[in-house]
Chain A
């Protein structure tokens, strides 16, 4: 069965203190790995999709990378507005047309001024 584990569960950073979030996965064959950002009481907001090991994507202070067993979300010089829960999800190759997402529990990030 596909599994996704995110670590740490929570992360407290000072403004400007760079750090990384981890998403470890086991899946029969990875079609895609998705990162979302979720603010309290709101729906997840799509950030990135990664498809193959070695791929990297960037958006402002966020950079996502992918290996065969895990993905990292690097936050460079974070600002308070980067405070959110970051969710990781994997999608496996299947024989049908449906691509189920398996989500991790998320990492809650708090950035203090």
Chain B
């Protein structure tokens, strides 16, 4: 089955720790995205990648980093510089940058 997988489902971060969220897709999509979802707010774009080895900052990139070394994978690192990381993180992909985005199941990040 084609789709987008995210792991882990839940992630706990200690103070000062960097953590990495995984996103994998087998849809052969060129574009991939990371969003953050907080209660009562719309999804906010963290980073996006239109093609392998290229990525751009979204609206709230501070405290986050990404890489796109393979077409299928777009991991997100939440660094210690992100002071309010508790949120639901969603990865999405689309066949090309302007087409419909399809979402993964999400990772909930909590701070210990």
Binding site for B on A (CB under 8 A): 4, 31, 34, 36, 41-46, 49, 87, 89, 91, 97-106
Q: Which of A42, A102, A106 contacts B106 (CB 8 A)?
A: A42
Q: Which of A4, A34, A42, A91 contacts B42 (CB 8 A)?
A: A4
Contact A103 B43 (CB under 8 A): yes
| Chain A: minimal CB distance from B73 (Å) | 17
Residues of A within 8 A of B101 (CB): 34, 46, 101
Q: Which of B4, B88, B98, B105 contacts A97 (CB 8 A)?
A: B98
Give chain B's interface residue range (CB within 8 Å of chain A).
20 to 34
Residues of B within 8 A of A45 (CB): 103
Contact A98 B98 (CB under 8 A): yes
Contact B41 A42 (CB under 8 A): no
Contact B105 A42 (CB under 8 A): yes
Complexed CA–CA distance, A103 and B23 (Å): 21
Sampled A-B contacts (11; CB under 8 Å): A41-B108, A42-B106, A43-B4, A43-B106, A44-B43, A44-B90, A87-B43, A89-B43, A97-B96, A98-B56, A101-B45
Complexed CA–CA distance, A106 and B106 (Å): 17
Which residue of A is nearest B51, CB measured? Answer: A97
Q: Is B104 an interface residue (CB 8 A)?
A: yes
Contact B48 A98 (CB under 8 A): yes
- Residue in B41, B42, B90, B101 with the greatest tally of chain A CB atoms within 10 Å: B42
Residues of B within 8 A of A34 (CB): 100-101
| Chain A: minimal CB distance from B54 (Å) | 11
Which residue of B is nearest A3, CB measured? Answer: B42
